Structure 1
């Protein structure tokens, strides 16, 4: 898949069938839409293009907005590369772009810069200044400038339409197994291993403290999860369990993400790790003493190993 960083000099591109959106998570609903773009492009003998943005629009329009993303940009581009589309065009979202009407955006960006001849829009997608206009308007504007505009159907599971906001809600409730069904893959956090409190090692469960602060990714509901961990520069996924919470047994207050990889002793400090969530085991709670906590961790490990074995 070719990646195009769109700027004022972009042009002279071949005719394309495109869709546009933020595509956070590239979930099954997005995959459904992009599949139709690819199919239409093949029928029309044109390129297929996914048009997305380098940052969440609200980050530009609201200076204090801090997104809780399903996928950072690099992760999103990786997922898009697996959809079969020919190219992804990344727009740098600015206040100037946000001020464009839908008609001007279609003319100056979609037509003049990206040579879009057919635009397939997600069932709930709107663009242009304040998102004032809708599909009927896009069709009319497209007709004026030689672009066919089509509306895609929604993708649903058991009658429920899949959306990024719905998946975020599932993760906030700790329902990572349902989020996986909607995404089409396990929800995955990326972060660097930093120094921790070393309490797990004293209990016989050494953990890596994962710092995800800079990724702006959404952190699931506190609790203990069965996970798979991929280390930097490796394709192997290692079984483990992760605790998200404040370590109440140790009178902690700040949220930490500590992952215990089964039968693993190497030093991971400074490495980037990818933690994929399989299922939530239990909520975090305070124990009266370390012996109780250790016994609970043993039970957690057994349950996590069983869940991960079922997934193999």
Structure 2
């Protein structure tokens, strides 16, 4: 996938594209991208997406914290797996934000050679977002740009307590996945994402209590401050470090048994791993929520619970 970070001096190959922030590059996004690729194949054009390195809302509201599912780098990596020919990484400046829908479409045609635009079923663009699909079609006809309405990806949502296979069809969205992660429901979030939610970061020094009780941990400092951290609790995770993948159990929270104060920690015990990895990059992929964070009366009580957590995590892994 060719990535255009700036407006090219010469317009790229004519393409079919769609527009969006694509946070998480979840199954709904992938369904939309598949439709772009199908239209491109029929039309004999390149396939592409137009996306933004920074959340557009941060441009108009600098204080906004988006709680990202993916950083820009992570998003580009996921998009590169989607068989697209190109990604147009567009800075969402105040000038871009001030364009009307028609002006924005003309900009895409003139500078990026977009000849067909696949519009998500609920997507709106332009500075006031008051126009809809029929308006886009009319503008496209005037600009020589075909506008195509995409169909939504629908996921089977199993209703708790229902019989096997029962449920309701639900559209997958980034906001829905954020809500699931904020509740600790990482397994349902993975069903919408199409992969296990992950955090990338660096191993940093901690309090080193874990090694004294037989469960040494690596403490994670997340690379992106706007990245969403799932809710406090203990999780079964997969850990990528030093080019290998291991199982592990992860704790997010304030370590109440050892009085961690207001310092929220993300620490992982990696099964069967004993190397010194301070300062090294690490990826944690969430597989299953195990339990909430608990305060124990003694370290012995904590160790007994950690033994159960390790057994439960291993079962899910």
Considering the TM-score relative to the shorter chain, is it more than 0.5? yes
Q: How does 1:156-167 map to 2 (within 5 A)?
A: 156-158=154-156, 159-167=169-177
Write the mapping of 1:42-191 to structure 2, written as runs, cut at 5 A. 42-108=41-107, 110-158=108-156, 159-191=169-201
1:279 aligns with 2:278: no
Deviation at residue 213 of structure 1 after TM alignment: 5.8
Q: Tell me by how many angstroms 1:10 deviates.
A: 4.2
Match of 1:248 in 2: 256
Q: Could you say what secondary structure the match of 2:131 adopts? A: coil
Report the Cα offset of residue 6 of structure 1. 2.8
- Count matched residues: 304
Structure 2 distance, partners of 1:181, 1:21, is 21
Match of 1:267 in 2: 276
Partners of 1:137 and 1:87 lie apart in 2 by: 26
Residues 1:231 and 2:264 are matched in the alignment:
no
Secondary structure (helix, strand or coil) at the match of 2:112 reads coil
**SS class of match (1:214):** coil
The secondary structure found in structure 2 opposite 1:132 is: coil
Q: Give CA-to-partner distance per residue, 1:137-166, whole Å, 9 cap, x none.
A: 111111100001011111111211100000
Superposition deviation, residue 64 in structure 1:
1.0
Q: Work out the CA distance in 1 between the residues paired with 2:111 and 2:211.
A: 56
Indicate which of 296, 311, 315 corresponds to 1:306. 315
**4+ residue runs over 3 A deviation:** none
Query: Does structure 1 retain, via aligned residues, the 8 Å contact 2:50–2:90?
Result: yes
The answer for unaligned runs of 5 or more in structure 2 is 157-168
Kindly provide the CA deviation profile for residues 3-48 of structure 1, in whole angstroms up to 9, marking residues without a partner as x. Answer: 11133x4432111000010000000000000001011101111000
Match of 2:164 in 1: none
Residues 202, 223 of structure 2: 8 Å contact kept:
no
CA contact (8 A) 1:10 1:114 kept: no
Give the aligned partner of residue 267 of structure 2. Answer: 258
CA RMSD of aligned residues (A): 1.1
1:199-214 equivalent positions in 2, closer than 5 A: 199-212=209-222, 214=224
Q: Which residue of 1 aligns with 2:162?
A: none
8 Å Cα contact 2:71-2:224 kept in structure 1:
no
* Residue deviations 1:268-309 (CA, integer Å, cap 9, x gap): 11111110000000000100100000000010000000100x
Cα offsets for 1:165-220 (capped at 9, x unmatched): 00000000101000001000000111111111111111111111101163421000
Corresponding residue SS for 1:112:
helix
Unaligned runs of 5+ in 1: none
- 3-state SS in 2 of match to 1:113: helix
Question: Per the alignment, do residues 306 and 89 of structure 1 end up closer, same or farther by CA in structure 2, a change over 3 Å counting?
Answer: same
Matches of 1:130 and 1:211, distance apart in 2: 38
| 2:160 paired residue number | none
Which residue does 2:159 correspond to in 1?
none
Residue 130 of structure 1 and its aligned partner are, at CA, apart by: 2.5
Equivalent residues of 1:118, 1:148 under 8 A apart: yes
Q: Please state how far the C-alpha of 1:267 moved relative to its aligned partner.
A: 1.1
* Secondary structure of 2:64's aligned partner: coil
